Amino acid sequence: MDKEKLQRAAARAVSVLRENLGNFTYQFPGSNSEHMFYPATENTEWTTGFCTGTYWLAYELSGEERFRTSAEVQVESFYNRIKQKTDVDHHDMGFLYTPSCVAAYQLTGNQRAKEAAILAADQLISRFQEKGEFLQAWGALGAEDNYRLIIDCLLNLPLLYWASYVTGDEKYRDIAIRHTRTSIRNLVREDHSTYHTYFFNPRTGEPLRGVTAQGYRDDSAWARGQAWGIYGTALAWRYTKNEVCRELF
Protein backbone atom coordinates (compact mmCIF):
# COMPACT_ATOMS: atom_id res chain seq x y z
CA MET A 1 0.00 0.00 0.00
CA ASP A 2 1.45 3.35 -1.02
CA LYS A 3 0.90 6.67 0.76
CA GLU A 4 -1.95 7.73 -1.55
CA LYS A 5 -3.91 4.51 -0.95
CA LEU A 6 -3.34 4.83 2.78
CA GLN A 7 -4.68 8.39 2.76
CA ARG A 8 -7.78 7.33 0.81
CA ALA A 9 -8.44 4.49 3.22
CA ALA A 10 -8.07 6.81 6.20
CA ALA A 11 -10.40 9.37 4.61
CA ARG A 12 -12.99 6.64 4.01
CA ALA A 13 -12.74 5.49 7.61
CA VAL A 14 -13.23 9.04 8.85
CA SER A 15 -16.25 9.40 6.57
CA VAL A 16 -17.86 6.24 7.96
CA LEU A 17 -17.26 7.42 11.52
CA ARG A 18 -18.74 10.81 10.70
CA GLU A 19 -21.92 9.11 9.47
CA ASN A 20 -22.08 7.07 12.69
CA LEU A 21 -21.96 9.99 15.11
CA GLY A 22 -25.74 10.35 15.18
CA ASN A 23 -26.16 6.76 16.36
CA PHE A 24 -23.06 6.36 18.47
CA THR A 25 -22.38 9.35 20.68
CA TYR A 26 -24.68 8.91 23.66
CA GLN A 27 -24.72 5.17 23.02
CA PHE A 28 -22.13 2.70 21.76
CA PRO A 29 -21.96 -0.08 19.16
CA GLY A 30 -22.86 -3.41 20.70
CA SER A 31 -20.22 -6.10 21.09
CA ASN A 32 -21.82 -8.30 18.41
CA SER A 33 -23.40 -7.43 15.08
CA GLU A 34 -26.97 -8.34 14.21
CA HIS A 35 -27.80 -8.70 10.52
CA MET A 36 -24.51 -6.97 9.58
CA PHE A 37 -25.12 -3.99 11.85
CA TYR A 38 -24.05 -3.18 15.39
CA PRO A 39 -27.07 -2.23 17.51
CA ALA A 40 -26.73 0.70 19.90
CA THR A 41 -26.09 -0.18 23.53
CA GLU A 42 -25.26 1.48 26.82
CA ASN A 43 -21.69 1.65 28.10
CA THR A 44 -21.41 -1.97 29.20
CA GLU A 45 -19.36 -5.01 28.19
CA TRP A 46 -15.74 -4.83 27.06
CA THR A 47 -15.73 -3.28 23.58
CA THR A 48 -17.12 0.23 24.05
CA GLY A 49 -13.72 1.88 24.42
CA PHE A 50 -12.90 1.07 20.80
CA CYS A 51 -15.65 3.39 19.54
CA THR A 52 -14.29 6.32 21.53
CA GLY A 53 -10.77 5.47 20.42
CA THR A 54 -11.72 5.66 16.75
CA TYR A 55 -13.24 9.11 17.36
CA TRP A 56 -9.97 10.32 18.87
CA LEU A 57 -8.10 8.93 15.86
CA ALA A 58 -10.54 10.65 13.51
CA TYR A 59 -10.08 13.90 15.45
CA GLU A 60 -6.31 13.62 15.05
CA LEU A 61 -6.61 12.89 11.33
CA SER A 62 -9.26 15.44 10.43
CA GLY A 63 -9.12 18.12 13.10
CA GLU A 64 -12.95 18.16 13.08
CA GLU A 65 -14.36 19.31 16.41
CA ARG A 66 -17.40 17.06 16.00
CA PHE A 67 -15.22 14.03 16.74
CA ARG A 68 -13.72 15.61 19.84
CA THR A 69 -17.20 16.60 21.05
CA SER A 70 -18.57 13.05 20.69
CA ALA A 71 -15.45 11.52 22.21
CA GLU A 72 -15.72 13.81 25.24
CA VAL A 73 -19.37 12.85 25.73
CA GLN A 74 -18.25 9.23 25.80
CA VAL A 75 -15.32 9.95 28.11
CA GLU A 76 -17.83 11.31 30.62
CA SER A 77 -19.71 8.04 30.31
CA PHE A 78 -16.49 6.14 31.09
CA TYR A 79 -15.87 8.38 34.09
CA ASN A 80 -19.33 7.54 35.42
CA ARG A 81 -18.88 3.87 34.64
CA ILE A 82 -15.71 3.45 36.71
CA LYS A 83 -16.98 5.65 39.54
CA GLN A 84 -20.15 3.55 39.76
CA LYS A 85 -18.24 0.32 38.98
CA THR A 86 -20.65 -0.71 36.25
CA ASP A 87 -19.56 -3.99 34.62
CA VAL A 88 -15.89 -3.67 35.55
CA ASP A 89 -15.28 -6.93 37.43
CA HIS A 90 -12.98 -8.36 34.75
CA HIS A 91 -9.57 -7.82 33.20
CA ASP A 92 -10.57 -5.61 30.25
CA MET A 93 -9.90 -2.22 31.82
CA GLY A 94 -7.20 -1.50 29.26
CA PHE A 95 -9.46 -2.18 26.30
CA LEU A 96 -12.01 0.16 27.84
CA TYR A 97 -9.93 3.01 29.22
CA THR A 98 -6.75 3.28 27.14
CA PRO A 99 -8.37 4.24 23.80
CA SER A 100 -11.00 6.39 25.52
CA CYS A 101 -9.64 8.12 28.61
CA VAL A 102 -5.87 7.79 28.32
CA ALA A 103 -6.17 9.08 24.75
CA ALA A 104 -8.37 11.97 25.91
CA TYR A 105 -5.87 12.99 28.56
CA GLN A 106 -2.92 12.76 26.19
CA LEU A 107 -4.64 14.72 23.43
CA THR A 108 -6.52 17.35 25.42
CA GLY A 109 -5.30 17.26 29.02
CA ASN A 110 -8.78 16.23 30.24
CA GLN A 111 -8.36 15.75 34.00
CA ARG A 112 -11.54 13.73 34.49
CA ALA A 113 -10.31 11.35 31.81
CA LYS A 114 -7.01 11.02 33.67
CA GLU A 115 -8.83 10.33 36.94
CA ALA A 116 -11.06 7.74 35.29
CA ALA A 117 -8.11 5.93 33.71
CA ILE A 118 -6.20 5.79 37.00
CA LEU A 119 -9.30 4.40 38.73
CA ALA A 120 -9.53 1.81 35.94
CA ALA A 121 -5.89 0.86 36.55
CA ASP A 122 -6.71 0.48 40.26
CA GLN A 123 -9.63 -1.74 39.31
CA LEU A 124 -7.40 -3.88 37.13
CA ILE A 125 -4.69 -4.43 39.73
CA SER A 126 -7.36 -5.36 42.29
CA ARG A 127 -7.61 -8.61 40.32
CA PHE A 128 -3.94 -9.51 40.84
CA GLN A 129 -3.39 -12.85 42.51
CA GLU A 130 -0.17 -13.18 44.50
CA LYS A 131 -0.46 -16.96 44.41
CA GLY A 132 0.44 -17.55 40.80
CA GLU A 133 1.31 -13.91 40.10
CA PHE A 134 -1.32 -13.04 37.51
CA LEU A 135 -4.37 -10.89 36.88
CA GLN A 136 -7.45 -13.08 37.19
CA ALA A 137 -9.47 -12.75 34.01
CA TRP A 138 -13.05 -13.32 35.09
CA GLY A 139 -15.31 -14.44 37.89
CA ALA A 140 -15.30 -14.07 41.64
CA LEU A 141 -11.78 -13.40 42.89
CA GLY A 142 -10.13 -16.58 44.09
CA ALA A 143 -12.88 -18.87 42.80
CA GLU A 144 -11.34 -22.19 41.81
CA ASP A 145 -13.38 -22.49 38.61
CA ASN A 146 -12.01 -19.16 37.36
CA TYR A 147 -8.56 -19.00 38.93
CA ARG A 148 -6.86 -18.32 35.61
CA LEU A 149 -5.25 -15.76 33.38
CA ILE A 150 -6.10 -15.09 29.73
CA ILE A 151 -3.82 -14.21 26.83
CA ASP A 152 -6.03 -11.22 25.91
CA CYS A 153 -4.90 -9.42 29.07
CA LEU A 154 -1.48 -8.70 27.59
CA LEU A 155 -3.23 -5.94 25.62
CA ASN A 156 -4.62 -4.41 28.82
CA LEU A 157 -1.22 -3.93 30.46
CA PRO A 158 -0.23 -0.63 28.76
CA LEU A 159 -2.84 1.00 31.01
CA LEU A 160 -0.71 -0.06 33.99
CA TYR A 161 2.55 1.23 32.53
CA TRP A 162 0.82 4.53 31.80
CA ALA A 163 -0.57 4.70 35.34
CA SER A 164 2.91 4.27 36.81
CA TYR A 165 4.21 6.98 34.52
CA VAL A 166 1.60 9.60 35.46
CA THR A 167 1.37 8.76 39.18
CA GLY A 168 4.99 7.88 39.89
CA ASP A 169 3.77 4.72 41.65
CA GLU A 170 5.66 1.65 40.46
CA LYS A 171 3.04 -0.81 41.75
CA TYR A 172 1.16 -0.73 38.44
CA ARG A 173 4.28 -1.43 36.39
CA ASP A 174 5.41 -4.16 38.79
CA ILE A 175 2.12 -6.03 38.42
CA ALA A 176 2.22 -5.67 34.63
CA ILE A 177 5.71 -7.18 34.53
CA ARG A 178 4.82 -10.04 36.87
CA HIS A 179 1.67 -10.87 34.89
CA THR A 180 3.64 -10.83 31.63
CA ARG A 181 6.29 -13.15 33.08
CA THR A 182 3.66 -15.63 34.24
CA SER A 183 1.86 -15.45 30.88
CA ILE A 184 5.01 -16.14 28.88
CA ARG A 185 6.02 -19.04 31.11
CA ASN A 186 2.66 -20.79 30.85
CA LEU A 187 0.78 -19.71 27.73
CA VAL A 188 3.52 -20.15 25.14
CA ARG A 189 4.04 -23.73 23.92
CA GLU A 190 7.28 -25.20 22.58
CA ASP A 191 6.18 -24.56 18.99
CA HIS A 192 5.34 -20.92 19.94
CA SER A 193 1.62 -21.41 19.56
CA THR A 194 -0.34 -20.32 22.62
CA TYR A 195 -3.04 -21.38 25.02
CA HIS A 196 -6.03 -19.07 25.36
CA THR A 197 -6.30 -19.34 29.16
CA TYR A 198 -4.30 -21.01 31.93
CA PHE A 199 -5.50 -22.30 35.31
CA PHE A 200 -3.58 -22.16 38.59
CA ASN A 201 -4.05 -23.76 41.98
CA PRO A 202 -5.67 -21.06 44.16
CA ARG A 203 -4.03 -22.42 47.33
CA THR A 204 -0.44 -22.78 46.07
CA GLY A 205 -0.27 -20.82 42.81
CA GLU A 206 0.97 -23.93 40.99
CA PRO A 207 0.32 -23.86 37.21
CA LEU A 208 -2.28 -26.50 36.34
CA ARG A 209 -3.43 -26.59 32.71
CA GLY A 210 -4.05 -24.59 29.58
CA VAL A 211 -7.58 -24.52 28.17
CA THR A 212 -9.54 -22.54 25.62
CA ALA A 213 -12.65 -20.47 26.21
CA GLN A 214 -13.33 -19.44 22.62
CA GLY A 215 -11.00 -21.50 20.44
CA TYR A 216 -11.57 -24.83 18.69
CA ARG A 217 -10.06 -27.02 21.43
CA ASP A 218 -7.67 -26.73 24.37
CA ASP A 219 -4.56 -27.57 22.36
CA SER A 220 -5.45 -25.46 19.31
CA ALA A 221 -4.10 -21.98 18.63
CA TRP A 222 -7.07 -19.62 18.72
CA ALA A 223 -6.24 -17.08 16.00
CA ARG A 224 -7.31 -13.92 17.82
CA GLY A 225 -5.57 -15.02 21.00
CA GLN A 226 -2.39 -15.87 19.09
CA ALA A 227 -2.45 -12.37 17.55
CA TRP A 228 -2.91 -10.81 20.96
CA GLY A 229 0.00 -12.86 22.25
CA ILE A 230 2.25 -11.53 19.48
CA TYR A 231 1.09 -7.95 19.92
CA GLY A 232 1.14 -8.20 23.71
CA THR A 233 4.74 -9.42 23.90
CA ALA A 234 5.76 -6.69 21.45
CA LEU A 235 4.18 -4.10 23.73
CA ALA A 236 5.86 -5.69 26.75
CA TRP A 237 9.21 -5.31 25.03
CA ARG A 238 8.43 -1.66 24.26
CA TYR A 239 7.87 -0.91 27.94
CA THR A 240 10.48 -3.19 29.53
CA LYS A 241 13.11 -3.89 26.83
CA ASN A 242 13.09 -7.49 28.10
CA GLU A 243 14.78 -9.50 25.33
CA VAL A 244 12.69 -12.58 26.11
CA CYS A 245 9.61 -10.65 24.94
CA ARG A 246 11.40 -9.55 21.78
CA GLU A 247 12.50 -13.09 20.94
CA LEU A 248 8.96 -14.41 21.36
CA PHE A 249 7.12 -11.88 19.21
Catalytic residue among 89, 92, 122, 218: 92
Provide the Cα torsion 173, 179, 225, 236; round to 10°. 40
Contacts 24+ apart (CB under 8 A), 196-199: 196/150, 196/151, 196/222, 196/225, 197/137, 197/148, 197/149, 197/150, 197/151, 198/148, 198/149, 199/147, 199/148
Cα distances (angstroms) measured from residue 23 to each of 27, 40, 114, 202: 7, 7, 26, 44
Catalytic residue check, 87:
no
Is 216 buried (19+), middle (13-18) or exposed (0-12) by CB count in 10 A?
exposed
Distance, CA of 158 to CA of 121 (rounded, Å): 10
Catalytic residue among 87, 145, 152, 169: 152
Catalytic residue check, 122:
no
Please identify every residue annotated as catalytic: 92, 152
